[in-house]
Structure 1
Amino acid sequence: MKHLDWYLQINLKARHLRLLVAIDTYRNLTQVAEVTHVTVPAVSKSLAELERGLGLALFSRTTRGFMPTPYGDCLIRHARAMLAILHQARDELKALSSGAEGKVRIGMLPASASVLVPYALNLLKQQSPGTNVTVIEGTTESLLPELWQGRLDLVVGRLPPPDTLGSFEEKELLEEPVVLMTGRHHPLARQNTLNWSDLCDYPWILPPPGSILRDPLERALEANDVPLSSNYIETLSIHVVRAHLQVSDFIAVMAGSLANDPVQPFHRLPLSLPRLLRPTGVLWNSNRGLTPSAQLMVSCLEEAAQHVLKDFTGSLSPAKSKRTR
């Protein structure tokens, strides 16, 4: 084990990390050679030297290609994380050398953060024009691995259940209810009072199975004797939901702030759902901490949450500020 410690601390290089990730990605030395612009013998030699230096077999040669061993899986996972940190350092150094003040990479859950994030970005650019931002939309399932690997600094949206957080740290930003919405032309929008049974004849826009809202929504509708018809659309795209509500008699479940959209106004049905989801908030990897740019973005998100609350008073309330490991 002393030899392993020595090799990891002295001899392991960034090129070894890139080699491991490339072999794990392509599982074929010919393809690895093509993308790394070296010969196949050179790739094979580098891998052999790495395995010999560590004293561990990192890959098994199989009919399906090069498959990582448990040792390989372990080292590849850390190699991806270390390369992400190096890329982050590169981006920050480039930003500093070009006169910029930094860069922050944000993952956004569009269904819950599409109002909050634009407010926060506007505040960030007012306070620090030289801080540049990359925003990537996605689902919890796609964004949290990117946050863990270090390819994202923050993820903004509905907070996942606490037992799924692991080493992620969170800050609650906004307690935003989930409401039932239609287009303003919808037949139900012309009724002053509604019963749950009035919903039974209309089609739905639903979050897909497996999303954090689908199961609690189904339970809430079932409790009110509202069966989901066979006529529905499943999507997490807020753009699809907005557009379809404008031209159809569908019912959708959306964040309360979206009902007051001045460009595409909607009608909020006067039926109360129980609290189906946790608040909207921001997550980061506590093992990595926050860069100054990311810290500034968190501050802007907190300020933006107050703006959203002020603009949509009556449907929202501020969330308690809390951190959970």
Structure 2
Amino acid sequence: MSAELDWYLQINLKARHLRLLVTIDTYRNLSQVAEVTHVTLPAVSKSLAELERGLGLTLFTRTGQGLVPTPYGECLTRHARAMLHVLHQALDELKALSAGTEGKVEIGVLPVSASILLTHALKLLKQRSPGTNVKIVEGSAASLLPELWQGHLDLVVGRLPPLDALGSFEEKELLEEPVMLVTGGQHPLARKKAVEWSDLLPYPWILPPLGSILRDPLERALEAHGVPLTNNYIETLSLHVIRAHLQVSDCIAVMADTSARDATHPQPLHTLPLNLPRLLRPAGVLWNRVRTLTPSAQLMISCLEETAQRLAQEAQEKR
């Protein structure tokens, strides 16, 4: 069986088989598969039977609720999705080359943590390679890291996760950014020359959601200073929402140093003169070490490194 399986996978398995597996796994109904693929139901049944016969494995079982993948089906479908994505990436690169562009890089960004770094790095990338196109996806570590593992993203930029969460990811530290407590310019504490931790007690908060990498260490740090969090808060990772709400409320939020001190923003924030301990690892970039980085992704990493060095130097000069 092993020799036959090896022969079939390496010689006879085709892209149409991969698409068939993914479509069946998506719809779990052969009639729907036939409809969306614009082929007859007998043809779909025949293709699945030929695939299972060639592999010598049962991939799906028929139940009252439709087709259910066997462990073999789950395994092969998972890899089929990954292989189809790689083929789509190759097609995108070939189209880009034929159109005179220089490639594409898909980046996941962790909100609130690397917006300034990524913005300036993208500017540098476009200066060096105008034909390199970029797709940005914002999300939490819980949503972006699986996408990075599956190959749907080339890079993830933001606060690096704990070392024990890295698994098969390679990382590069880029920028050590302290976390600051911030308010809008109209906040009562923004008008005080001296601020004590106890002054924070009456005010509501904008917090990172439960489960995000900043939430637990922030709560512990505030409790250590006698500032337990109340039930009066908003949870979000959106930098735009945080900035906008700080301008119209008496909320206090936590933000990375470069974002908090962004003087180019039309509505600057006020940084409270209270020092938090180091709550998080540095901002950095992650990629999947088992997948080869494209030239566009390598160039993006280079731009991130150069931008981080410049931002660190500027921050040092301001101190």
Structure 1 residue 51 and structure 2 residue 57: aligned? Answer: no
Q: Number of aligned residue pairs: give it.
A: 316
**Counterpart residue type for residue 66 of structure 1:** L
Corresponding residue number in structure 1 for 2:296? 293
Corresponding residue number in structure 2 for 1:127? 128
**Aligned equivalents of 1:248 and 1:311: distance in 2?**
31
Length-normalised TM-score, structure 1: 0.94
**Are the aligned partners of 1:106 and 1:152 in contact in 2 as well (CA < 8 Å)?**
yes
Give the superposition deviation at 1:173. Answer: 0.6
**Are the aligned partners of 1:256 and 1:315 in contact in 2 as well (CA < 8 Å)?**
no
User: Secondary structure in 1 aligned to 2:113?
Assistant: helix
Deviations 1:170-208 (A, max 9, x none): 111111111111011111111122221111100000111
Give the superposition deviation at 1:315. Answer: 8.3
Structure 1 residue 186 and structure 2 residue 187: aligned? Answer: yes
User: Secondary structure in 2 aligned to 1:105?
Assistant: strand
- Aligned-residue Cα RMSD (Å) equals 1.5
Following superposition of structure 1 onto structure 2, how do residues 197-208 of structure 1 map, counting pairs within 5 Å?
Answer: 197-208=198-209
Structure 1 residue 270 and structure 2 residue 273: aligned? Answer: yes
Percent identity for Structure 1 against Structure 2: 74
Give the superposition deviation at 1:314. Answer: 6.9
**Aligned equivalents of 2:283 and 2:318: distance in 1?**
14
Give the superposition deviation at 1:110. Answer: 2.2
**Are the aligned partners of 1:176 and 1:315 in contact in 2 as well (CA < 8 Å)?**
no
**Aligned equivalents of 2:48 and 2:318: distance in 1?**
59
Give the superposition deviation at 1:82. Answer: 0.9
User: Secondary structure in 2 aligned to 1:249?
Assistant: coil
Corresponding residue number in structure 2 for 1:260? 261
Following superposition of structure 1 onto structure 2, how do residues 58-77 of structure 1 map, counting pairs within 5 Å?
Answer: 58-77=59-78
Corresponding residue number in structure 1 for 2:169? 168
Corresponding residue number in structure 1 for 2:95? 94
**Are the aligned partners of 1:257 and 1:315 in contact in 2 as well (CA < 8 Å)?**
no
**Aligned pair partner of 2:305 in 302, 305, 308:** 302
Deviations 1:229-259 (A, max 9, x none): 1111011111110100011100001111112
Corresponding residue number in structure 2 for 1:319? none
Unaligned runs of 5+ in 2: none
Give the superposition deviation at 1:63. Answer: 2.6
**Aligned equivalents of 1:239 and 1:32: distance in 2?**
41
**Are the aligned partners of 1:204 and 1:250 in contact in 2 as well (CA < 8 Å)?**
yes
Give the superposition deviation at 1:45. Answer: 1.5
Give the superposition deviation at 1:60. Answer: 2.0
Flag as ranges the 4+ runs of structure 1 deviating above 4 A: none
**Aligned pair partner of 1:279 in 282, 290, 297:** 282
Structure 1 residue 137 and structure 2 residue 138: aligned? Answer: yes
**Counterpart residue type for residue 83 of structure 1:** L
Corresponding residue number in structure 1 for 2:211? 210
Unaligned runs of 5+ in 1: 317-325
Give the superposition deviation at 1:276. Answer: 1.1
**Counterpart residue type for residue 97 of structure 1:** S
CA distance change for structure 1 residues 268 and 69 in 2, over 3 Å: closer, same or farther?
Answer: same
**Aligned equivalents of 2:7 and 2:111: distance in 1?**
46
